[in-house]
Amino acid sequence: MKKYLLIVILLIILPITGCGKNNTNISPNYDELIITLERTACFGTCPIYTLTIHGDGTVVYEGKDFVKIRGIEESIISQEKIEKLILEFDRADYFSLNDNYVEHTITDAQSVITSITIDGKVKIIEHYHGDLSAPETLSNLEDKIDEIANSNQWVK
């Protein structure tokens, strides 16, 4: 009886404490996390820039044209904001979206190229804003990346 009780206790305690061979890391390691957003040219004055966000919170901005600041700038965002970004990618079901939405239903629009590298997986999506078949969740994600990275400090 004591032997069975010990087994039951171990089956309860090991998953809680994280001991055991099937231990999963509850706090993901973001050392290799990279999120990018690139806004390209349009027929007009669309801001042209790139954001690269690293898992440690480093944000690298490169302003190219029609932005307040041209060149490279850096800032830091909190780990909480990094986690929020990952949640936004999850909400958009990013890995299940098409790799591109590039139909020119409307011409002269801007393209936005996003990517995420996480847990050994890489996904890149090219989104032409004149493609009406693109899901709204993709545009919302693009805007959330800008918002969370605070790109307005350099763009507007």
H or E segment to which residue 117 belongs: strand 111-118
Structural domain harbouring 39: 28-155
Task: Output the average pLDDT for the chain.
Answer: 87
User: pLDDT (tens digit, 9 = 90+) per residue, 75-126?
Assistant: 999 999 999 999 999 999 999 999 999 999 999 999 999 999 999 999 999 9
Buried b (16+ CB within 10 A) or exposed e, 72-109: eeeeebeeebbeebbebbeebebeebeeebeeeeeeeb
Residue 20 lies in a domain: no
pLDDT at 29: 64
Q: Give the CATH number, domain containing residue 57.
A: 3.30.1560.10
With a cut of 80, say whether residue 7 has pLDDT above it. no
Measuring CA to CA, how many Å separate 114 from each of 11, 18, 34, 93? 43, 35, 11, 13
Domain count, the chain: 1
Other C-beta atoms within 10 Å of 133: how many? 9
Prediction pTM value: 0.82
Find, among 134, 33, 24, the residue nearest to 84 by Cα.
33
CA–CA separation, 38 vs 140, rounded Å? Answer: 15
